[in-house]
Amino acid sequence: MTEFIPPGTRYVDLPSPFPMKRGGALDGARMAYETWGTLDADHGNAVLILTGLSPNAHAAANAGNPEPGWWEAMLGPGKPIDTDRWFVVCVNALGSCKGSTGPASTHPATGHPYGLDFPALSVEDGAVAAAHVVASLGIERLACVIGNSMGGMVALALLAARPGIARSHINISGAARALPFSIAIRSLQRESIRLDPAWNEGRYDDAHYPESGMRMARKLGVITYRSALEWDGRFGRVRLDSDRVEDEPFGLEFEVESYLEAHARRFVRQFDPNSYMYLSRSMDWFDLGEHCTTRCGNHDSDVRGALAAIAGAGLGQALSIGVHTDILFPLQQQEEIAEGLRAGGCDADFLPLPSPQGHDAFLVDIERFGPAVGGFLARLGPPAQLDG
């Protein structure tokens, strides 16, 4: 098991023990993060970015690491998330293998990787851990929390767990709960890993590694991250050159198959399989409405009530962005977020974008997402104005 930590990563120690929502606790756990820009004297210009399942905290180049980050086109001086104005913090997810404590980290009691001894992980655990990073930087209230994909779930859980922690919110291709289709896909991804003999109940190493399971899991994921429209426009029915066709029955024949294979092979040794499964399952379990079962006096999930409660706790402005071609986090989920926040008194907008690039559009379609995110942030007033 290997952790993949970029240079320039900084750390915050979590309280020890750190209790987990579904039982168990972590000792000696930490969260990885990076920052850009300068924090104002009143700490009122802080923006928190919460990521999808696989990214690290290195969203863009900075003094600690000049290499381009996974959101390089969106974050920096004069860019949509303008670090000349905003102090930006990006947190690596709890449970990841890229700096924050996760199944690939060393268990302090054994000196070996946690593996399946890592406690059951929930989106809510990641939200509370992110809140500790914010507090450690002396930030009492964020100007904005931005969540992408899984990070959109974590952002909502954070706003529910820490009422008033942010004045505004941008939810990008996120959701307030997992839907059956996405649960089914992630279940198949986990099954692909579990059925690889090399997984060995989570006890693998670099020499005996569930590569086949991870390849299949990643291919399934990539298929759902993009849209059928893009697959068709990008590859059509183009076949491989005859000298590139594998000499085996039912081997690779089409360009799209070759693309998926190459993409998966680049990924499989860069992300820990156990971390992949823990984070995947945390999304399946997430249902923001659970936060409202006691607070709102209900016994069943009440997503709308939970979103309204977040707004009522002081969230002044929000933007929920989705993509028409997203099959993994479909558009109605982002609309649900905006409507629920609006019901609680938040000035919340829903923005459906016509990008052909599916769920991953926020990573690549900067021409559409940049103006939307940058425009929202540019309209935010100073703290006193936002609190008004």
- Give me the active site residues, please: 149, 326, 359
| Of the candidates 322, 358, 132, 134, the residue with the CA atom closest to the CA atom of residue 225 | 358
Report how far apart the first and last C-alpha atoms of the chain are (Å, whole number): 50
Helical segments of the chain, H only: 123-136, 150-161, 180-194, 211-225, 228-235, 255-268, 273-285, 292-295, 303-312, 331-343, 361-364, 366-379, 383-387
Distance CA 317, CA 339 (A): 12
Nearest to 227 by CA among 357, 117, 111: 357
> 176 near 318, Cβ under 8 Å?
no
Could you give the CA distance from residue 113 to residue 365 in angstroms, rounded to a whole number? 38
Radius of gyration of the chain (CA): 21
Are 318 and 335 a contacting pair, CB within 8 Å? no
Query: Is position 360 annotated in a ligand binding site?
Result: yes
Residue type, 97: C
Q: Using CB atoms within 10 A of its CB, is residue 136 exposed (0-12), middle (13-18) or buried (19+)?
A: middle
Of 115, 358, 120, the C-alpha closest to 226 is 358
The two three-digit tokens of residue 234, written as one number: 């990008």
Report strand pairing: 10-13 vs 75-76: unpaired
Backbone angles phi, psi at 158, to 5 degrees: -65, -45
Helix and strand numbers (H, E) in the chain are 13, 12
> Rounded to 5 degrees, what are φ and ψ at 229?
-60, -45
Residues within the annotated binding site? 218, 360
Residues within the annotated binding site for substrate? 218, 360
